[in-house]
Amino acid sequence: MWDCRMSLSRFLSIIAIFGFCLFPAVAGAQGMDDAKLTSLVQALAGDNFDETSTAVSGLAKSAAPRAAAILNALSAGDLYVSKADRSVFIGMRDGSDYAATDPLSGAKLPPVPRNTAEKIKVNNRLRRDIAAAIGGLTLMSGDAAERRSAAEAILKNRDPDSIALLDQALSSEKDAGIKLLMQRAKAAAVLNSSAPDDMKIAAIAEIKSGNGREALGLLTPLAGVEGPVGQAASAAISSINAELEIWNGIQNVIYGLSLGSVLLLAAIGLAITFGVMGVINMAHGEMVMIGAYTTFVVQQIIRTSMPGLSEYSLLLALPAAFLVSGAIGVVIERGIIRFLYGRPLETLLATWGISLVLQQATRSWFGASNVQVGSPSWMSGSFDAGMLTLTWSRLWIIVFALSVFAVLQLVLKKTMLGLRMRAVTQNRRMASSMGIRTPWVDALTFGLGSGIAGIAGVALSQIANVSPNLGQGYIIDSFMVVVFGGVGNLWGTLVGAMSLGIANKFLEPFAGAVLGKILVLVLIILFIQKRPRGLFALKGRAIEA
Amino acid sequence: MFSLTARFIGTFAAAAMGATLALAPAKAAEDTIKVGILHSLSGTMAISETTLKDTMLFLIDEQNKKGGVLGKKLEAVVVDPASDWPLFAEKARQLIEQDKVAAVFGCWTSSSRKSVLPVFEELNSLLFYPVQYEGEESSRNVFYTGAAPNQQAIPAVDYLAKQEGVERWVLAGTDYVYPQTTNKILKAYLNAKGVKDEDIMINYTPFGHSDWQTIVSDIKKFGSAGKKTAVVSTINGDANVPFYKELANQGIKAEDIPVVAFSVGEEELAGLDTKPLVGHLAAWNYFESVDSDANAEFIKKWHAYIKNDKRVTNDPMEATFIGFNMWVKAVEAAGTTKSDAVIDSIVGVSVPNLSGGYAAMMPNHHITKPVLIGEVQADGQFDIVYRTPGLVVGDEWSDYLPGSKDLISDWRKPLSCGNFNVVTGKCGGATKTN
């Protein structure tokens, strides 16, 4: 019942738009008179979503010059209704008032106090209707972005009545990308219509060339149809599925690398404090957490004092997180751990205690709930590569993890500090008698490991919760990676993290996330039984010392 | 080894903290009624439970301004069970035996409730439990002021099926008792409504799961079968933020695949940029955006008490508010804080809720609630898009599970039974753990 009315009104709206487009001068005269438009706008504030939806299609049908603007405002939640006289206006929050605009004329109205008006609510279904209505209104718009989203809305909505409109838009469209989208939208609408079979089969071919997942969604309902259309659809589905199978494998590898780089980031600091120095540092996760909170503080400062820099706040947070976590690491080493060298059990207990203290301190300082760390625009959203959807944040984290690894290698291999660190870990007494101040090297090494953990916190703030518990979630995984990769070897950590990540992602699709994780742990236990020193065991006398 | 040491230190730290907090207000012990607050202030659950501790202190403060209860001031005894389930039982015992509290308000996870349940039954004390849970339980000593599955999950699924035309369902949850039981009920309910097994995907993840790439892409795959798909999420706590971030990043919009969550409220959204999430849903019995005088006053007083007008309110806070007021009213009606008298007088007690109506304690120790469905807005609040026409009575034994559909609970005399089988006419005992 409701659907019939919708499609009828769509049909009328198309006729109205045609009129509007072909004879703009006459359209005003043909369009509805102001009183009728006003009552339509009033009806947007109906008692339930059905009434609002009817008013939306009525408004789209009217082709009033401001219809798209009004519908946009409704969809964005900027349309309000006064509680007293039920008049509708576009409002912007302005202190305790709304700065009001008349929806039809666009003229400024006197401000309305906030408590005398209420927002006109929209739900998902209404938002879809609005998008389709706006799509019909803006398909011929001068703005390419508007045309693109109009075509996308029709592609989603698959309304057969929009075929004629799309044909017209296609004939004048210059942008190749939008043209392709419109063709696909038209094909989707054709499949949804009662067009003859040969048109539908052509449409299936058109859709098959598009995005795999989307095509599957459009074609699956057709597969059961009798006759050539159903056969063509089934054939298209099986060829898409075969292709998706291959892409699935690639996707697992990429997701695995992404999980692996998160593990690498979390573990690489530990690879220094535990792997190189041999300190069982249970407070390692809290260094990551402190890094994430530093990112939060840096963002807060930038937001209040230098809003222009907020896109780069993460880059500024990197050195800050390194310094804060590193400094805390040095303090912990000088204050506690140096008294416990050679006593692993006591070190474990003490650092676990430190981790609890740091967690609770953060909790009392920042509160127990999550804090919000924003993502810059270059790290949000995704892009399609073939049939894969890759998210920018994950991609940047892979790049970032590998660069941190490279820089750390450089520091260890090419700098004086790195040389001394390696000397002290290989033979402490010899290094000491060569004039190296081993206590300082210890402190700096621990600081370096902690600082790197802090940097990891900056990256993890983009994909995880920033809460006092952040570190706890990563401490077990970090130890797992370092032990699996081989204690004392950074390359081992890299290979260990990546192989654990990929193994996890290949197990997950058929074993499930819970069983997958258990399987990985079992495999590691078996592996450690066989090779107790991990993938890349250090050889030589240093180990026995 | 690791976890043993961990627990040892955790216990030690928590005990020290509990002791200091409990010792602080020890003055004038004779003239006060003690109320126990059993919420984790450290560990994983602190993120959710700390707010409820603050809420209780706020409610006690308000009540004392009104002259207390039975002419005596209330005194809060706060302990920290540190998100450690066995410690909950220990701390509950300490509250009842040593501190002699009249009632305890606390617990969040079902695991913690199951851990303290035998203690409350053995020592015959009162527990007010303010969080939505999976049902399948009714105890003489526990009052469930959060939602049962029929007060949250089932109306939400109905809304999606009716308003959004959803035909394919992803039931995604954290791997523990609440999501598993809720999903079992939902699956039975959907099957009864004619949804086939191939249109239901059930997925569990570990606590604190942070890598959602595969699962979100699986949801996308499941949703591309030409039928309208929705996700029903019982994902708990910390795992939600990475889940929603991944959804937003992979471009799943609420218009395409809406997610309705039962454990995500205003507090959980505080750590998220909600602009890409507009339109995803949550089902609760209260939202901060509820337009009522009672709610406006509650929020105003809460902000004044906590001295921070950015602090949000949420559903478990309302459940705490209702439970506390019910206890006060029942104690006043009974004229004593003795457990047996309060258990007898509380059934039928009715107090205002925050959404402009009343909540009544039913004989099964569950309460009546309106069910609200809200959509996430860009400002981190929810817009209420649906509200049940009347109040819904909490149904402790689900009508959709074969083992429990014949059971009822009625704690009034003479029946006084938590799982009475209406077919066999027998009471199966006071508790049944699943």
Give residue limits of the domains in chain B: 2-148+294-368, 150-290+371-393
On whether ipTM exceeds 0.85, the answer is no
How many Å is the Cα radius of gyration of chain A?
Answer: 31
Q: Return the pLDDT at B30.
A: 59
pLDDT > 90 in chain B, percent: 63
A352/A539: higher pLDDT: A352
A30/B280: higher pLDDT: B280
A49/B163 Cβ within 8 A: yes
Q: Return the pLDDT at A32.
A: 58
Tell me the mean pLDDT in the region B357-366: 94
Q: Return the pLDDT at B126.
A: 96
Classify domain B2-148+294-368 at the CATH topology level.
Rossmann fold (3.40.50)
Whether the CB-CB separation of A47 and A118 falls below 8 Å is answered with no
Is the pLDDT at A27 greater than 50? The verdict is no
Q: What is the DSSP letter of A371?
A: B
Tell me the mean pLDDT in the region A460-474: 87
Q: Return the pLDDT at A15.
A: 47
From chain A, pick out residues whose CB is under 8 angstroms from the CB of B203: 512-513
A124/B279 Cβ within 8 A: yes
Q: Return the pLDDT at B102.
A: 95
Is the pLDDT at B15 greater than 80? The verdict is no
Amino acid identity, position A294: T
Is the pLDDT at B144 greater than 70? The verdict is yes
Q: How far apart are CA A454 and CA A260, in angstroms?
A: 18
A353/B214 Cβ within 8 A: no
Q: Return the pLDDT at B18.
A: 45
Q: What backbone torsions phi and psi does residue B301 show, to the nearest 5 degrees?
A: -65, -40
Within this chain, domains B2-148+294-368 and B150-290+371-393 share the same CATH topology? yes
Tell me the mean pLDDT in the region A482-511: 89
3-state helix, strand, coil in chain A (%, to 5): 75, 5, 20
Residue in B163, B251, B378 closest to A125 by CB:
B163
Domains of chain A: 2-84+118-198 (no CATH), 207-247 (no CATH), 253-544 (1.10.3470)
Q: Which of the four pLDDT bands, split at 50, 70 and 90, describes residue A39?
A: confident
A393/B279 Cβ within 8 A: no
From chain B, pick out residues whose CB is under 8 angstroms from the CB of A469: 43-44, 46-47, 208, 238
Q: Best residue in A120, A124, A207, A480 to probe B by mutation, most B CBs within 10 Å?
A: A124
B226/A219 Cβ within 8 A: yes
A49/B395: higher pLDDT: B395
Read off the pLDDT of residues A178-197 as tens digits, 9 standing for 90 and up. Answer: 888 888 888 888 887 887 88
Q: Which of A208-222, A487-501, A519-533 has the lowest mean pLDDT?
A: A208-222
Lookup: tokens for A363: 């909790």
B338/A24: higher pLDDT: B338
The position carrying tokens 């390692």 is: A284
Is the pLDDT at B260 greater than 70? The verdict is yes
From chain A, pick out residues whose CB is under 8 angstroms from the CB of B217: 251, 255, 389
Residue in A124, A462, A469 closest to B164 by CB:
A124
Tell me the mean pLDDT in the region A297-308: 90
Q: Return the pLDDT at B323.
A: 96
From chain A, pick out residues whose CB is under 8 angstroms from the CB of B248: 380
Kindly indicate whether the domain formed by B150-290+371-393 is annotated with CATH number 2.160.10.10. no
Tell me the mean pLDDT in the region A477-504: 90
From chain B, pick out residues whose CB is under 8 angstroms from the CB of A221: 226-227
Read off the pLDDT of residues B185-241 as tens digits, 9 standing for 90 and up. Answer: 999 999 999 999 999 999 999 888 888 999 998 998 898 888 899 999 999 877 888
B391/A77: higher pLDDT: B391
Q: Best residue in B50, B163, B170, B210 to probe A by mutation, most A CBs within 10 Å?
A: B210
Q: Which of the four pLDDT bands, split at 50, 70 and 90, describes residue A539?
A: low
Tell me the mean pLDDT in the region A163-173: 82
Read off the pLDDT of residues B155-197 as tens digits, 9 standing for 90 and up. Answer: 999 999 998 889 999 999 998 889 999 999 999 999 999 999 9
Q: Return the pLDDT at A67.
A: 83
Which chain B residue has its CA at the smallest distance from A463's CA?
A: B242
Q: What is the 3-state secondary structure (H, E, C) of A255-311?
A: HHHHHHHHHHHHHHHHHHHHHHCCCCCCCHHHHHHHHHHHHHHHHHHHHHHCHHHHH
Decide: helix, strand or coil at residue A222.
helix
Read off the pLDDT of residues B34-82 as tens digits, 9 standing for 90 and up. Answer: 999 999 998 878 888 999 999 999 999 999 999 999 999 999 999 999 8
Helix (H) or strand (E) holding A530: helix A490-530
Q: Which of the four pLDDT bands, split at 50, 70 and 90, describes residue A86?
A: confident
Q: Which of A139-143, B281-285, B378-382 has the lowest mean pLDDT?
A: A139-143
Q: How far apart are CA A416 and CA A450, in angstroms?
A: 19
**CA dist B183 → A76, A167, B129, B204 (Å):** 34, 47, 21, 10
Q: Between the ranges A46-55, A245-254, B20-29, B127-136, where is the mean pLDDT highest?
A: B127-136
Whether the CB-CB separation of B280 and B252 falls below 8 Å is answered with no
Tell me the mean pLDDT in the region A2-28: 45
A218/B226 Cβ within 8 A: yes
Q: Return the pLDDT at A235.
A: 85
Is the pLDDT at A211 greater than 90? The verdict is no
Q: What is the DSSP letter of A195?
A: -
Is the pLDDT at A529 greater than 80? The verdict is yes
Read off the pLDDT of residues A328-338 as tens digits, 9 standing for 90 and up. Answer: 999 999 999 98
A473/A404: higher pLDDT: A404
Is the pLDDT at A316 greater than 60? The verdict is yes
Among the listed residues A373, A358, A369, the one whose alpha carbon sits nearest the alpha carbon of residue A296: A373
Mean pLDDT of the residues in chain B:
88
Is the pLDDT at B6 greater than 70? The verdict is no
The position carrying tokens 């997925």 is: B203
Q: Return the pLDDT at B197.
A: 93
Residue in A121, A382, A469 closest to B238 by CB:
A469
B421/A352: higher pLDDT: A352
User: Helices A438-460 and A392-414, interaxial angle, to 10°?
Assistant: 170
Q: How far does the CA of residue B202 sit from the closest CA of chain A (Å)?
A: 10
Read off the pLDDT of residues A367-398 as tens digits, 9 standing for 90 and up. Answer: 877 888 888 888 888 888 777 888 898 899 99
Q: Return the pLDDT at A237.
A: 85
Tell me the mean pLDDT in the region B330-347: 94
